[in-house]
Amino acid sequence: MKNYFKGMKAVTKMDYATYAGVILAFVIVSLCQSFGLLNRSVSGMLVPICAYVCMALSLNLTVGVLGELSLGHAGFMSVGAFTGIITSMSLSTTVPNELARVVLALVVGMIFAAITGVIVGVPVLRLRGDYLAIVTLAFGEIIKDIINCLLVGWDENGLHIALNIDGTKSIASLGLSENGIEIIKGAQGASGNDRIATFTVGFVLVLITLVVVLNLVRSRTGRAVMAIRDNRIAAESVGINVTKYKLMAFVTSAALAGAAGALFGLNYSSVSAVQFDFNTSILVLVYVVLGGLGNMWGSIIATVVLYVLPEALRSFSDYRMLAYAIVLILVMLATNNDQLKGLLAKVIPVRKKGDAIDG
């Protein structure tokens, strides 16, 4: 066993350590939960943390591995959340099993976000430069506005969808029958949802996201994507179809964000489009940048710490965001300090000098 680990590459060891860490964290938290050691506010944070970890991991695929800036990742989360809620609500009678419904909702959220990813990616990823950042920024706002005027209901006749563009329509204009369910009510968002997401589902989704991202990075596809990030011209010269691989990475990233969004949406009884605005996109980007571009375990740790931090600082009330900002600045200064890095390298001798960082 020892020899087996000795023969492995440093990156492979790192991958297994990340899996082990995530599983260990889940086991510890689950145990605490079953012994009643977690208070309500902490256990309420578990599913959103899982969702944001998935968000950060998927965004890291776009920003860290592909090297393109995306400023509208919350848009994909939004698409996933609302399609997930629609799926879960409209299937509430046909599929009474909650677990099966959650899984279906996650899959539907993933598919719709992937389709949206293709629509956004196909025209933009052909271009060179920072166009993706600009387009995704606009995309996030467009999705928010579309959902703000979206009316969706469900009855025996199927799904009723209307767009309340001129502000004259209301949920009544869907013409739902008596047993109908109002799912999305325009700017009010979706309310009265079944809260069927659980921490276990969240954990499994984190694990799946992690496996997808890490296995992708260590495969032929991932190498092609990183080659494009490091040197586009050289990548073309060795026969890599740049647009194809950019699109592959971007759509995978969008699909994973969709699943994370569905998980997030199914955790609350009421969800509205403004929750997935520009600030959310930037929040996730902050997790990714502070965790380290292309560094998956860094993303996970950064997400957990930075998600819990504002909640923990709640007692400072008004000074909460100020303290949060100061912590962000300190972390940025610390991660750019060579002396501190050297000190850290002595404490954690994982990445030796000269070792390749891939993924």
Indicate which single residue of 36, 129, 349, 354 sits in contact with other proteins (rule: CB under 8 A).
Answer: 354
Cα–Cα nearest to 148, from 187, 201, 198: 187
Between the alpha carbon of residue 38 and those of residues 46, 198, 255, 306, the distances in Å are 10, 15, 32, 19
Task: Provide the 10 A C-beta neighbour count for residue 141.
Answer: 13
Q: Are 75 and 276 in contact (CB under 8 A)?
A: yes
Cα–Cα nearest to 253, from 113, 53, 83: 113
Residue 183 or 248 having the CB closest to other proteins? 248
How near is the Cβ of 100 to other proteins at its closest, in Å? Answer: 22
Residue 25 or 293 having the CB closest to other proteins? 293
Q: Are 271 and 79 in contact (CB under 8 A)?
A: no
Residue 141 or 355 having the CB closest to other proteins? 355
d(CA 14, CA 355): 12
How near is the Cβ of 13 to other proteins at its closest, in Å? Answer: 12
Residue 69 or 227 having the CB closest to other proteins? 227
- Partners of residue 271 on adjacent β-strands: 190
Is residue 355 a contact residue for other proteins (CB under 8 A)? yes
Interacting residues with other proteins between 208 and 267 (CB under 8 A) = 211-212, 215-216, 218-224, 226-227, 229-231, 233-242, 248, 252
The first and second tokens of residue 117, run together, are 């990813």
How near is the Cβ of 105 to other proteins at its closest, in Å? Answer: 22
How near is the Cβ of 325 to other proteins at its closest, in Å? Answer: 30
Residue 3 or 168 having the CB closest to other proteins? 3
Q: Are 219 and 248 in contact (CB under 8 A)?
A: no
Interacting residues with other proteins between 291 and 320 (CB under 8 A) = 294
Total residues contacting other proteins (rule CB under 8 A)? 37
d(CA 220, CA 215): 10
Draw the binding track, 10-49, toward other proteins (x: CB under 8 A; -: no contact): x---------------------------------------
Cα–Cα nearest to 104, from 201, 207, 200: 201
Binding residues for other proteins (CB under 8 A): 9-10, 211-212, 215-216, 218-224, 226-227, 229-231, 233-242, 248, 252, 294, 353-358
